Chains A and B, each alone.
Chain A
Amino acid sequence: MDNTHPLLLTCLLCVPAIAAGLAAVTARSLRAAAFITAAGIGGGSALGLAAAVEAGKHGTISALGSWLYVDALSAFNLAVMIIVYIMSTVFAFVYFKEEARAGAFSLKQARQFAALWCGSFTSMTLVLVSNNLGIMWVGIEATTLLTAFLICIHSSRHSLEAMWKYLLICSVGVAFAFMGTLLAAASSRHVAGFDIHQALLWTRLRDHAAMLNPALIKAAFIFLVVGYGTKAGLAPMHNWLPDAHSQAPAPVSALFSGFMLNAALYCIMRYIPIVEAATGHAGWALTLLAALGVFSIGIGAAFIVFQQDIKRLLAYCSVEHIGIIALGLGLGGIGVFAALFHTLNHSLCKSLSFFAAGRLGQRYGTHDIRLLHGATRNSRLWGTALFVSLLALMGVAPFALFMSEFRILKAAVDAHAFVLLALFLCGVSVVFVGMLSKAIPLMWGESTVSVAAPDIHTRLEAGLVVIPLAALLALGCWMPGFLGTALTQASDIIRTGAALPPH
């Protein structure tokens, strides 16, 4: 059942873009830049939530001749994106206010940050709401280009190096994904009633999925997984991730791990039902995805063990969790539900941990874990936040991440994928031990660096810490009704291509 909401969706795309332009050109002070960012992100978020609610009510909404299309999967991801953006924007205010006080954040940098931040909001929204797979690709490429300079807001040798690696690797990867998009369009050429203007629409490919040329769609999927997987951080294409996350300022790292990786995975999720239907539901695409997922878990686990930099540690942790999500998607059945749930939990938790790492870095002047020992004693709020979020990331019960990982375990057992199960457990155990060995000194270690600044924090910061943690605890114990329905509908779309009508 379609409902057209052209005004809502176009405003959703335009408002942050206009804010970006304004911030770049007219912001005359740091406060003005902050205000414009808040207005842009706030307006965009409100519109996005409205779109998600409308989609929940009507099933799907569309606009512009169904080039824009929001169904349950888009709506869910839109909601996650908005949560991450709001949290990260508030944190960005706190973080950069501290930097400005220390004189390390100029007006030019503020303008650049505001413009690129709002611009990336627009491009990620474009990815989520477009039905046209070509435009979806354009959105992902735009994300890469817009966020590249966010990494090197503070020019230094390391940040420039990280930015160049990110730009090149992700651009080449996304170009691979474009090749996959072309092959997917080519696979539908022989279908009767082929209209080139409709060929790239996801809804059309989904409707005709059973008639697509299987060899071509398989080749397309390989290119797509390699391409979008580079952007998502799936191993072995994850090389840009640790550098970009460790060198970017904390709000940007939180955004990357919190939503940008999910956006790339979303693109892969869109193709799964099409490939599965075209290959006769043999599970070929799912096997490929599960294999890459397990490989990413392994790589993440292997590299976590010897990390010294807290942000690099969190980056490899992201690789591992993206692997878990891919594994869940690849297991099918309840695994898809669990994977989507995991995206929400991971975004919440990883953002919080990057916030904490960033603030501790500001306070201590370093990101080296060895120098952050005893951080919980010196900075009670953010040290505790980092410690608890690390625990949650490890999969400690009763946080929500434990529940989603447990569900994925169950899905593996249901699917009799015992090899994958064993590898998954191995990887997660290694991560558990590795991260715990670094987290414990954070709480109870002897601090080697003395900090002169007093440990004061505003209520805003306290809110930033308490709300996500409370949400994670709550979600770990109890699944609210609306969330369950949303997840079920979204996972139905991935498994079968269409959501069952809402009841």
Chain B
Amino acid sequence: MSETCMMVLIVLDLALLGISMVNTGILIVGLQGALLGAFVIAVNAPALSPRLFVIACAGIAIKGFLFPLLLRRTIKEANIQRDMNPFVGASLSLLIGILMLASALWLGAELPLTGVIRAPFTVPASFMTMFTGLFLIIARKKALTQCLGYIVFENGIYAFGVAAVGEIPSLVELGLLLDAFVAVFVMGIAIYRINQEFDHMDADELRSLKG
């Protein structure tokens, strides 16, 4: 079950690379968040404590519902264009995504984590998600998509954490969720203010400070 979760995560990553509309991207990122909550439950299934269950549900609620809500509100308020207009086109992004998957699989075989990781396919999947997040930040023009890339990057790290470390004390877990939430919230406000001042959302255009 947890292996399937990780494989679906990889497919969602590739989907993110291939799409061209911001709204679809937000939907996929929400799905990823909900999937990670399910993954927490799947990994801990033999010994599921109520505390973990609550944390998993909180994760699903925040990452699966709240983040997309925040981002959609930002789009509406800032009146952003729907088309992503990326630097690197969808087909090329997909091909690069395949390369990233191959390198993530290689890394997964290289790192000495076999005794530590509880769900065996997690290392390649989480590295793939991290690479996807970084790629989205670098190769996309719109500030909102860079924010999506950040969320995807955090998702990858979180997936790794769930499998490698397992139960983190609740307070730390909640602190992490809260941090992620506030980060997305702050980025939303930042995007709104940028849009007010600049009339566009292309982070590519933000290059007047040099040297």
Contacts and interface: CB of A to CB of B under 8 A. Distances in A.
A171 B146 CA distance: 11
| The 7 residue pairs across chains A and B that have the minimum distance between CB atoms | A134-B172, A138-B175, A161-B206, A186-B164, A182-B161, A243-B209, A196-B167
Contact of A172 (B153, B161, B166, B178): B153
Interface stretch (B7-15, B18-26, B64-72, B108-116): B108-116
A183 interface: yes
Count class of interface residues, chain A: 35 or more
Contacts of A185: 164-165, 168
B113 A135 contact: no
Nearest to B115: A190
A171 B193 contact: no
B150 A168 contact: yes
A489 interface: no
Given A156-B197, A179-B157, A215-B112, A134 B209 contact: no
A160 B193 contact: yes
Contact of A175 (B143, B154, B167, B208): B154
A247 B112 contact: no
Interface in B165-188: 165-169, 171-172, 175-176, 178-179, 182-183, 186-187
B46 to A, nearest CB: 16
A172 B134 contact: yes
5 contacts: A149-B190, A157-B198, A167-B186, A186-B113, A196-B167
Interface of A: 132, 134-135, 138, 141-142, 145, 148-149, 152, 155-158, 160-165, 167-168, 171-172, 175, 178-179, 182-183, 185-186, 189-190, 196-197, 199-200, 213, 215-216, 219, 242-243, 246-247, 303, 306-307, 312
B203 A164 contact: yes
Interface of B: 111-113, 115-116, 130, 134, 137, 143, 146, 150, 153-154, 157, 160-161, 164-169, 171-172, 175-176, 178-179, 182-183, 186-187, 189-190, 193-194, 196-198, 203, 206-209, 211
Contacts of B176: 134, 138, 178
Contacts of B179: 138, 141-142, 145
Nearest to A303: B211
A419 B15 CA distance: 49
A134 B178 CA distance: 13
A158 B153 contact: no
Contacts of B193: 152, 155, 160
A85 to B, nearest CB: 22
A243 B207 CA distance: 11
Contacts of B164: 182-183, 185-186, 189
Contacts of B197: 155-157, 160
B194 A160 contact: yes
A482 to B, nearest CB: 35
Contacts of B153: 172, 175
Contacts of A200: 168-169, 172
A312 B211 contact: yes
Nearest to A148: B186
